[in-house]
Homo-oligomer: A and B are copies of this chain.
Amino acid sequence: MRTAFHEELNFISDQLVEMTRLTASALNRATQALMDADLELAESVITADEYIDAIRRDLDNRAVDTLARQQPVATDLRILVTSMRMSSDLERMGDLARHVAKVTRLRYPQTAIPASLRATFSQMAHVAEQMVIKTGSIIANQDLAGAARLKDDDDQMDQLHREVFRILLAQDWSSGTEAAVDATLLSRYYERFGDHAVSVAHRVVYLVTGEWHDELNLDEALELRTADSARDTAPVRD
């Protein structure tokens, strides 16, 4: 019975990693569609988001069923509750990739991104995609140090977000209001994508340490974790 239960937990963890792979792919393809004004590719991202939504629903149903049938406590309960929160973040990241694709579709056959912003958006997309790929590995390996390092990527994303506004608001902006509106929304979508990746990483920390760090600095969380380990010499349940 316990074996079946832990197989279920492993399945949920694998599916969360699969969701990171799917959202990374969705954002990658959405960005390519955006840069190339590729309508067909944009449509495929919009359609494929339904599959991400379906995985999320399946995961949530499994988590609720498992809560009801197995009545887990302590770490096992924390894993299930946390997995529902992670799937919610990851599903939202899929939505944001879909939003990028929808801007592409709205402006087709024009491209939504003027030449002056292409390099910055390419970088944003690269950082965002790397963040969710790292998040997949953080989930798979319960990698707290990796979760802490994600802050650097998020800082880089915030810088790029500011860089977009710097370009938009410079005297030499000549691409008009529509392009400025599109770029504002697109920049926000990439930035939020990164925020949700950080949120998932925070949840891995909660899962491992039992400390709730939605609002805390992740460095503090790791210090708490180190303090815990020093106090508690009991073996960690794997």
Contact = CB atoms under 8 A, between A and B. Distances in A.
Interface residues of A, number: 30
Interface in A170-193: 173, 177-178, 180-181, 184-185, 188
A64 interface: yes
Contacts of A215: 53, 57
Given A68-B77, A81-B84, A212 B57 contact: yes
A67 B68 contact: no
A60 interface: yes
Copies in the complex: 2
Contacts of A81: 64, 67, 84
Contacts of A120: none
Interface in A135-189: 165, 168-169, 173, 177-178, 180-181, 184-185, 188
Interface in A103-149: none
Contact of A180 (B84, B88, B181): B181
B74 A68 contact: yes
Nearest to A170: B177
Contacts of A61: 212
Contact of A188 (B64, B88, B188): B188
Which A-B residue pairs are the 4 nearest by beta carbons? A71-B71, A184-B184, A68-B73, A181-B184
A78 interface: yes
Given A181-B168, A181-B180, A67 B77 contact: yes
A228 interface: no
Contact of A177 (B68, B84, B173, B185): B173
A61 to B, nearest CB: 7
A68 B188 CA distance: 38
Interface-central residue, A60, A74, A177, A214, by most chain B CB under 10 Å:
A177
Contacts of A53: 214-215
Contacts of A184: 180-181, 184-185
30 contacts: A53-B214, A53-B215, A57-B214, A57-B215, A60-B212, A61-B212, A64-B77, A64-B78, A67-B67, A67-B77, A67-B81, A68-B73, A68-B74, A68-B77, A71-B71, A85-B88, A165-B181, A169-B177, A169-B178, A169-B181, A173-B177, A177-B177, A177-B180, A180-B181, A181-B181, A181-B184, A184-B184, A184-B185, A185-B188, A188-B188
